[in-house]
Amino acid sequence: KAGVTQTPRYLIKTRGQQVTLSCSPISGHRSVSWYQQTPGQGLQFLFEYFSETQRNKGNFPGRFSGRQFSNSRSEMNVSTLELGDSALYLCASSLARDRISPLHFGNGTRLTVT
Amino acid sequence: GDSVTQMEGPVTLSEEAFLTINCTYTATGYPSLFWYVQYPGEGLQLLLKATKADDKGSNKGFEATYRKETTSFHLEKGSVQVSDSAVYFCALSPKTSYDKVIFGPGTSLSVIP
């Protein structure tokens, strides 16, 4: 069974640009969550989608948005990039939205903003 | 709100040493508890979990016991290997299915030969 796939693995963008990251969850998983990982802030929750609906949202500005498609694939978009958006963005899928199903992570997209 | 606290490290151990990484949590009700591991250049992967008090999760020689009375879920391994060098994250999944998973700050472990 294929794992969570994130594309691209690396991105270099300039301040003010926008970027779209993609995530394909494990087949059958309907919940997709996004996290930002930085050395200083650790893992910060961005948002979670289930059945194409955003179920939870972290404390990030409106420049960060996402969506989920009917096949459970998800994308996140960051507009008007800032230097501080440089981070590893991790996507995780889960079989169900319950308290016992673990998260399955992709290897992330490394975004560098110059 | 719910939170997870863990020793941040870095922790450096010699091969075959005993490992303990402390994790304590604050939560209402009875969350599920997890340990995830992140190897260099990779995403996180589940190491072990426990879903109720006194449960012991175990995997690859690692163990952790869900202690409700001390709100703790300490990770232990009797003899670490160089290949265990990674960052370890303690996490909790709140009692309701509608709340996000909460991660600790991560503990970096380096095992030297």
Tell me which of A9-13, A25-29, A70-74, A94-98 is least confident.
A94-98
Question: What is the pLDDT at residue B99?
Answer: 74
The pLDDT tens digits of the residues spanning B63-102 come to 999 999 999 999 999 999 999 999 999 999 987 656 789 9
Q: B106 and chain A: CB distance < 8 Å anywhere?
A: yes
The pLDDT tens digits of the residues spanning B7-21 come to 888 999 999 999 999
Rounded average pLDDT over A89-94: 96
CA distances from B110 to A76, B6, B10, B40 (A): 33, 16, 7, 11
pLDDT band at A100 (very low <50, low <70, confident <90, very high): confident
Whether the Cβ atoms of residue B76 and residue B105 lie closer than 8 Å to each other: no
Amino acid at A112: T
Interchain CB contacts (distance < 8 Å): A and B? 60
Nearest CA in chain B to A57: B100
Question: What is the pLDDT at residue B49?
Answer: 96
Q: Is the Cβ pair B45, A43 closer than 8 Å?
A: no
* Chain mean pLDDT for chain A: 94
Q: B43 and chain A: CB distance < 8 Å anywhere?
A: yes
CA distances from A85 to A62, A80, B58 (A): 13, 10, 36
Nearest CA in chain A to B105: A42
Question: What is the pLDDT at residue B1?
Answer: 83
Q: Is the pLDDT of residue B41 over 70?
A: yes
Pick the residue of B25, B28, B44 with the most A CBs within 10 A to test the interface with A by mutation: B44
What lies within 8 Å, CB to CB, of A91 at 6+ separation is A4, A6, A21, A23, A25, A32, A33, A34, A35, A74, A76, A105, A106, A108
Q: B86 and chain A: CB distance < 8 Å anywhere?
A: no
Q: Is the pLDDT of residue A10 over 80?
A: yes
